[in-house]
Amino acid sequence: MSSGLGGLNKSPNGVVIGLAQLQLPDPHSREALWQQTLKVVSMVGKARRGMPGLDLIVFPEYSLHGLSMDTSPDILCSLDGPEVAALRTACADHHIWGCFSIMEANPGGNPYNSGIIVDDLGEIRLYYRKMHPWVPVEPWEPGNQGIPVCEGPNGSTLSLIICHDGMFPEMARECAYKGAEIMIRTAGYTAPIRHAWQITNQANAFTNLMQTASVCMCGSDGTFDSMGEAMFVDFDGTPMAAGGGRADEIVCCELRPDLVREARKHWGVENNIYQFGHRGYSAVKGGAQDCPYTYMHDLAAGRYRLPWEDEVVHTDGTACGIPAPRRVFTAVDRG
């Protein structure tokens, strides 16, 4: 499928998305956090001016916070705080949808790594807490609200996952199972993850007949080097458009969720999202609809355990300077 010359030629059924390869910041004070918020707000305006047909602008994970893993209250946000209010106002002022990242204060434990999708009226349409923090490096509380989807621009259905989430095929499958036609993946990854980033973005798309739009932070903060690597993948696993390592570049592409819907209805061979729950339907009416996977049963029963479980070396964040946790994840934490 064509990208519409990066969204310059928008079709009636198209959704044009911009992936902002935002320059990696390093804020360590409330004022620095606010200045970074204003930078993101200005980029929303840049996106609208530079691409009048743009429907949605996506900012990477850590776009306000940087990669310091600092849990200081000075650089944490809340949904009703001034930073989120400014982002919502920017979307309304420029009549554009936006996807943003915040490190969210959590009175009951470590902060959440959260993402929001805001519509062109400034209303929050999707709110997600990262399910799989990148352990052992990241100190964030594991998300407890599942994986939501929302209606997006031009009748699309959107989902949002964050960075390491995309390395688990179950995450993309859950997005598609809930109806997502376009899965957004925001990240702060650095260059060693480049190959895994590319192949998982492609696999997540192909195995679920879903289009993926993924972007990392970009450039250096003097310590870390994020890679940018904006990437759009079609539902057959074919890359449609990609960025490199130029900071603050907005990489655009037109996606066609109507063609996703068509493929999900009409594909026979490799309609994997359907066939997963209807095994061997050519031999058995309706296909086998059991659950033959041991790990799923064990996880649901709370007894997930690998054959090499006792040999795993890293089971907390102490190797990265994070104190060993003492609190157990309970029903209260699940929300």
Query: Could you list the active site residues?
Result: 61, 130, 163
Q: What is the Cα–Cα distance from 86 to 242, expressed in whole angstroms?
A: 29
Q: Give the whole-angstrom CA distance, residue 88 versus residue 19.
A: 18
DSSP 166: G
∠ Cα 62 64 67 (to 5°): 40
One-letter amino acid identity for 183?
M
Secondary structure of residue 218 in the 3-state scheme: strand
